[in-house]
């Protein structure tokens, strides 16, 4: 899960790209970068947080002086390929680009057939990141830069969609002589979100999240359709677009559960409202009789706690405090995740002492993080801790962009492949009780018409939760998974 932003502006847009990336920081903390264009190419990339892009500048605004341009693309990376050293994170940072022909690209998603794509193209990848399996086929299909047009951008996009299998919402930037193009593309199932909108000055904005567009002054936005290519260029005041492949959409369920900003809307559904609804059903059906307060694991459990309190009538209390700028789940290693929980979360004993606590969170993967949180709550004096999780039990790796590397990571599954009961998991994590949300509740909360679109939920319903044509591929990767730290698709 990464964050992407593209702007086709009427004036210098560098600081909007930069500020947009800051608002996308929750989607990726491995690296960040952007490329802007004004007839020349101005790239800027680094490992870690977006603020690292301003190293060496006394003022953030000075960044635009060295990187001018009215068209650009940017990326915050959540690493799902390559090593996690600083050197490798910087090398694999996006956007990636080629000079001849000039084309830059970034994406949110995961290409699962990279080796197959590699055998069909002439150019060799410079990095380990799977953006190569979108960038290189696109570059190979484009004509010399003097002849690039909307029609051959369509041809190249169709070729990419034919070759690449997986999930991707992608942005490309190229140019024909001095006429630049910003191109947006979604995979045929549009597993990853992408929205677009126009500011009053005529500039066009494309991003992973609607909340980012709002922050940058875009008042109205719409979702990009699945299997669609959109082109922005100076010759057309309105973008030209074409749906190249028509298939049923499979929107990622984890966007609604965890990744997306709660202020965002995805396919016409409020992320905030979906989470509150799931929590409300949990509150009505699983509220412990002796519970005194509902406490969210901040920030991921907050909306579920609001709903749980509404559904159960148990008062909501702020019993935990954390640094809101950093997210534990998307850190690269388990050691880093555990250290962040220890150092970044404070239990408020005045709120917790002597209480029977319902602790809410979005999901439960490995169990080590929630175990640490439960211990903090008990150390603050809680007499009981009941855990309620919005997401159904995770049982298989996501092969489409969420970094759950191995089938051995999931606390819900035993080594022999059998499911653990809620009572067994509660004992492992040190809770007095445990209950999860349900797939039916999740689907009801999102409210998709199944004839029109589905939720991609292969990580909780494996392999049937994946789009049909991917199920054989993901089953093969799952069967080949020996439980190592290496990701199955690598």
Give me 34's structure tokens.
């952007």
Residue 144 zone, left/alpha/beta (φ > 0; ψ -120 to 50; rest): beta
CB of 226 within 8 A of CB of 188? yes
Tell me the two tokens of residue 143.
């004509």
Task: Round to whole Å and give the CA distance between 433 and 441.
Answer: 20
- Give how far Cα 120 sits from Cα of 113, 115, 116, 146, 174, Å: 11, 9, 7, 25, 22
Q: Which of 2, 106, 129, 391 is flagged as catalytic?
A: 2
Number of DSSP helices (H) and strands (E) in the chain, helices first: 16, 23
**CA 490, CA 487: separation in Å to the nearest integer?**
5
Contact call for residues 204 and 20 (beta carbons, < 8 A): no
Tokens of 464: 């049937």
Q: DSSP string of 175-193?
A: EETTEEEEEEEE-TT--S-
For residue 35, give the H/E element and its range.
strand 31-37
Task: Find out whether 164 and 113 touch, Cβ atoms under 8 Å.
Answer: yes
* Residue 468 DSSP symbol: G
Beta strand 31-37 with 249-252 is unpaired
Between CA 89 and CA 77 the distance in angstroms is 9
Contact (Cβ atoms closer than 8 angstroms) between residue 320 and residue 297: yes
| Distance, CA of 6 to CA of 473 (rounded, Å) | 31
Q: Which of 415, 332, 391 is nearest to 79 (CA)?
A: 332
Q: Is 169 exposed, middle or buried (0-12, 13-18, 19+ CB in 10 A)?
A: buried
Q: How far apart are CA 96 and CA 93, in angstroms?
A: 7
The residues pairing with 388 across neighbouring beta strands, listed in sequence order, are 360, 435
SS3 of 449, please? coil
**Whole-angstrom distance, CA of residue 108 vs CA of residue 92:** 14
Nearest Cα neighbor of 103 from 181, 49, 178 is: 181
Pairing label, strands 204-207, 3-8: antiparallel
User: What is the C-alpha to C-alpha distance for residues 350 and 477, in angstroms, rounded to an integer?
Assistant: 49
Peptide bond into 95 cis (omega under 30): yes
Does residue 2 carry a catalytic annotation? yes
Active site amino acids: 2
């Amino acid at each position: 899960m990464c964050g992407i932003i593209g702007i086709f502006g009427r004036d210098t847009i560098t600081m909007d790209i930069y500020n947009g990336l800051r608002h996308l920081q929750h989607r990726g903390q491995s690296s960040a970068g952007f490329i802007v264009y004004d007839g020349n190419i101005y790239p800027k990339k680094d490992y870690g947080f977006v603020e690292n892009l301003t190293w060496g500048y006394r003022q953030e605004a000075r960044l635009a002086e060295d990187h001018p341009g009215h068209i650009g693309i940017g990326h915050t990376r959540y690493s799902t390929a390559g090593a996690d050293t600083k050197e490798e994170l910087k090398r694999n940072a996006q956007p990636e680009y080629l000079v001849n022909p000039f084309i830059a690209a970034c994406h949110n998603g995961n290409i699962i057939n990279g080796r197959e794509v590699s055998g069909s193209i002439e150019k060799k990848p410079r990095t380990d990141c799977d953006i190569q399996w979108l960038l290189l086929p696109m570059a190979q299909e484009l004509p010399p830069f003097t002849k690039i047009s909307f029609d051959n951008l369509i041809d190249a996009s169709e070729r990419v969609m034919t070759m690449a299998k997986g999930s991707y919402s992608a942005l490309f930037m190229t140019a024909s002589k001095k006429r630049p193009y910003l191109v947006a593309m979604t995979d045929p199932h549009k597993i990853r979100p992408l929205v677009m909108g126009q500011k009053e000055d005529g500039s066009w904005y494309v991003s992973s999240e609607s909340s980012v567009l709002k922050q940058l002054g875009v008042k109205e936005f719409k979702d990009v359709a699945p299997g669609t290519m959109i082109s922005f260029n100076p010759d057309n005041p309105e973008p030209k677009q074409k749906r190249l492949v028509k298939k049923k959409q499979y929107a990622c369920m984890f966007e609604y559960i965890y990744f997306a900003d709660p202020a965002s809307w995805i396919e016409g559904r409020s992320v905030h409202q979906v989470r509150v609804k799931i929590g409300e059903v949990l509150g009505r059906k699983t509220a412990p009789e002796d519970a005194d307060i509902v406490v969210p694991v901040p920030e991921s459990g907050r909306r579920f706690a609001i709903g749980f309190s509404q559904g159960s009538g148990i008062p909501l209390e702020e019993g935990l405090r954390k640094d809101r700028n950093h997210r534990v789940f998307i850190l690269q290693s388990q050691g880093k995740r555990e250290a962040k929980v220890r150092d970044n979360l404070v239990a408020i004993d005045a709120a917790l002492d002597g209480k029977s606590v319902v602790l809410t969170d979005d999901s439960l993967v490995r169990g080590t993080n929630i175990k640490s949180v439960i211990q903090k709550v008990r150390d603050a004096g809680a007499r009981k801790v009941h855990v309620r999780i919005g997401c159904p039990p995770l049982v298989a790796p996501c092969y489409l962009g969420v970094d759950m590397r191995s089938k051995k990571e999931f606390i819900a599954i035993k080594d022999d492949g059998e499911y653990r009961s809620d009572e067994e998991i509660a004992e492992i994590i040190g809770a007095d009780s445990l209950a999860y949300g349900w797939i039916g509740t999740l689907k009801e909360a999102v409210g998709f018409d199944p004839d029109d679109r589905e939720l991609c939920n292969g990580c909780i319903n494996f392999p049937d939760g994946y789009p049909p044509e991917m199920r054989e591929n993901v089953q093969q990767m799952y069967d080949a998974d020996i439980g190592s730290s290496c990701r199955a698709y690598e």
